[in-house]
Amino acid sequence: MVATTFLSRFISAIGLPVAGTVLLGAATVYAPVQGAAAATTSDMVVAVTGTLQVVYGDDFLSKRSQRLYFVEDTLSGTTYQVHLSRPAPSNIAPGRKVTVRGRIDGKHIHLAAGEELSLAAAGSLTAGSDTQATTIAATGDQPTLVVVTNFRDAAVSCPVTTIRDTMFTDPGNQSIDDLYRETSQGRLSLSGKVVGPVTINASSTDTCDVNAWSTAADAAAQSAGVDLSGYQRRVYVMPSQNACGYTGLATIGGSPSKAWIMRCDLPAVYGHEIGHTLGMNHAATLANEYGDTSDIMGSEMSGLRQLNAAHQKQMGWRAPESFLDVTKSGTYEVAPIELDAASALAPQALRIAKPDTGEAYYVGYRQPIGFDANLNAQITSRVQVHRYNDAGGRTWYLSGLLVGSSFSDATNGITITNVSLTPGYATVHVQFAADSTCVRAAPVVTASPASQAVTAGGTATFAISVTNKDSAACAAATFNVAALSPSGWAASAAPSAMALAPGGTGRTSLSIVSPVTAPPGAYTTAVNISGGIALHAATVNAPVTVQSPCVRAMPGVALTPSAQNGTAGQTLQYVADISNLDSTSCPATTFAVAGAVPAGWGGVISVSSLTLGPGQSAQSSLNVSSPASVLAGSYAVAVSAASSSDTSLVTSATGGYQVLSSKDTAAPAAPSGLAARYDSRKSRTSLSWSAASDNVGVIGYRIYRDMAYVGQATTTAFVDSAVPAGATYSYHVTAVDAAGNVSAPSGSVVLSTGTATVKRRIK
């Protein structure tokens, strides 16, 4: 009974009631049904040509979904729900032009026998309920319009501001836009606006017709001034009181793509339905269509989270090298899928072909990073095994492997074992039954860094890595680590032995201590690897250079300029160059930089701490402000640098601040180089001159025409506006300082506004 009710709800979704007739419009009568007594709308086979629309209806409560098919008639604009008598082909192509033939009943068309194949794109015509071919672009910014839509008798319960935050602007960076930016690593974003609420002419008890509701909502948004052409992704937030029975619905692609949200208070519903419009199917388990809690395409009750490895492969949001195709037995490392490629220490998923079904196993590793902090420990403490067909179907969560546990596929002879977990990577062993012969080989050994330098008596530390290169059919082997150092040196490895499965890598830390009497020079320690057989022997060198002892020195401090002039209350800047003069064998040291000024003065240092290696230099600046009441005279300022390695190593550099007399009686020098040009079109004269000098500083210039004052300027240019043509004028300029002292006039310039040329310049 539950299944029947569920199916009937989906059959009625999106269309008008099944009973009744409708004018065919652009639909073409194809052929009458054989044996019909009379041709009516309900017993005629017609052909409808239009755009194919595929809609997912999600009923999370019942843990079921339905895929609904529609054709929008090209000529009439009528949207018909398409009913199939058998499963649809696997390569349905939403958005393509199709012609379907069948019996029309209201806004429903029931396909004639065999017509299901008309929905398929070119290629395989296999029928199936899980696969769904898509050609949807899923990168770049996605302009998205959200329309909050009320019925006459029911309203959306969430405030518009809450819906806006959910989609775009959450103050805690937890919006759907934030989710897709993070899970796509910046390759996809959602931008747009939220409009409404608008009220459409529909009731909560009306037959579920979301296509008609979205059309009415679009019209209301257009009437409110929204240009719909700018939004190729649209989201309709609807009242939860409706006859549909869905938590949400969404088209697969479409232009525009559409999503209908029936629960405005559950952010994961928005994220899930947006995922459908991007082309993703459900993240399922064998028992529950929404059972994969590691993926936003699973249940809406698990919060916002990223995508599993299979969906990341589908969407193309990870670099190809992030997915390693495993074709032979061995031990492999898998980095968390949340990391960017630059931060990942290994591939971020293993892909293993499943020959019997043409699918693939995806082995992934998740950590509580970003939105995946919402994942529970049953996900982050395990390695995940998914199954996926690489063609847009569901992803299937098959197993979460604790350390030491395995997933086995007896049909294809594949065993996947979780060997170990670290926050940076998981170690996984893949065994193919066909790989049954053990072949031993020499291990690969590396030392990092390539060399080290110490002073006599110092300790050098190397990371030694050992990789077991035996074939996958071999048992694990134990590798011992020993070091052979020069006489008088000491070396030890921890751990000194490691058990490694074929393909596995172990790491140990090697410490080498030089004698305090070791003279400067190059020394080599040999790191020897041995096992139970001769083939497991290998050696790597760990070179150490003994340097001359570190000799600390007084830092260098130089102040530029060494002296400056200023008036009382003026701020002057001094630049200090700080140098580390320690010997080259010394490590970097940190210098505390401080300024010193007379009592009552202001002094601000720009950088108070500098870390420098031997021979390195850097700058800090000291801004010095004298009091407005200070007397004229010479004052000292200073910058010091103190070494943190030895507090007795302190150097200071002193500079001079000459305060000029507070009563400035010296006039500026006269401006020079006065030039003029007349613009007859705009009836104005443009003047320019060279800057005047002053013992304190020029603050402006006064401009005179025919000995009459016409204006002032703070720069060396001025425009005299509205000067009539046909006359001759004489200009000169004076300079003024802050004390009001005025310079002698500049040389005059005479010009005729009839010719716009300078007649003569009087020096």
Higher-scoring residue by pLDDT: 33, 269: 269
Asked whether residue 345 carries a pLDDT value surpassing 70, the answer given is yes
704 and 601 in a common domain: no
604 and 536 in a common domain: no
Average pLDDT score over the chain: 88
User: Under DSSP, is residue 215 helix (H, G, I), strand (E, B) or coil?
Assistant: helix
Could you say which DSSP state residue 166 is in?
A: I
Asked whether residue 18 carries a pLDDT value surpassing 60, the answer given is no
d(CA 655, CA 657): 7
Q: How confident is the model at residue 390 (pLDDT cuts 50, 70, 90)?
A: confident
Span 580-604, average pLDDT = 95
Last residue of a domain, one of 498, 525, 547: 547
Q: Is residue 469 situated within a structural domain?
A: yes
Span 147-160, average pLDDT = 97
738 and 697 in a common domain: yes
pLDDT at 384: 97
Q: Is residue 152 situated within a structural domain?
A: yes
The domain containing residue 234 runs over which residues?
A: 140-279
Last residue of a domain, one of 601, 636, 659: 659
Q: How confident is the model at residue 130 (pLDDT cuts 50, 70, 90)?
A: low
Interval 217-262: pLDDT, tens: 999 999 999 999 999 999 999 999 999 999 999 998 888 999 999 9
Residues 6+ apart with CB under 8 A from 382: 400, 401, 402, 418
Interval 186-222: pLDDT, tens: 999 999 999 999 999 999 999 999 999 999 999 999 9
Query: Which CATH number covers residue 651?
Result: 2.60.40.10
Q: Is residue 468 situated within a structural domain?
A: yes
Weakest-pLDDT range from 27-31, 138-142, 386-390, 623-627: 27-31
Asked whether residue 27 carries a pLDDT value surpassing 70, the answer given is no
Domain count, the chain: 6
Q: Is residue 128 situated within a structural domain?
A: no
Q: Is residue 374 situated within a structural domain?
A: yes
533 and 501 in a common domain: yes
428 and 308 in a common domain: yes
Q: Which residues pair with 692 in a beta bridge?
A: none
Q: Is residue 40 situated within a structural domain?
A: yes
Q: Is residue 132 situated within a structural domain?
A: no
145 and 272 in a common domain: yes
Last residue of a domain, one of 517, 547, 577: 547
Q: What percent of the chain has pLDDT over 90?
A: 68
For residue 645, the tally of other CB atoms under 10 A from its CB is 15
Query: Which CATH number covers residue 82?
Result: 2.40.50
User: Under DSSP, is residue 174 helix (H, G, I), strand (E, B) or coil?
Assistant: coil
739 and 650 in a common domain: no
211 and 80 in a common domain: no
d(CA 64, CA 59): 6
pLDDT at 66: 87
Residues 6+ apart with CB under 8 A from 320: none
272 and 202 in a common domain: yes
372 and 487 in a common domain: no
Look at residues 194, 231, 199, 241 and name the one whose alpha carbon lies nearest to residue 217: 199
419 and 309 in a common domain: yes
Interval 566-575: pLDDT, tens: 888 999 999 9
420 and 352 in a common domain: yes
Asked whether residue 14 carries a pLDDT value surpassing 50, the answer given is no
Q: Is residue 725 situated within a structural domain?
A: yes
pLDDT at 122: 55
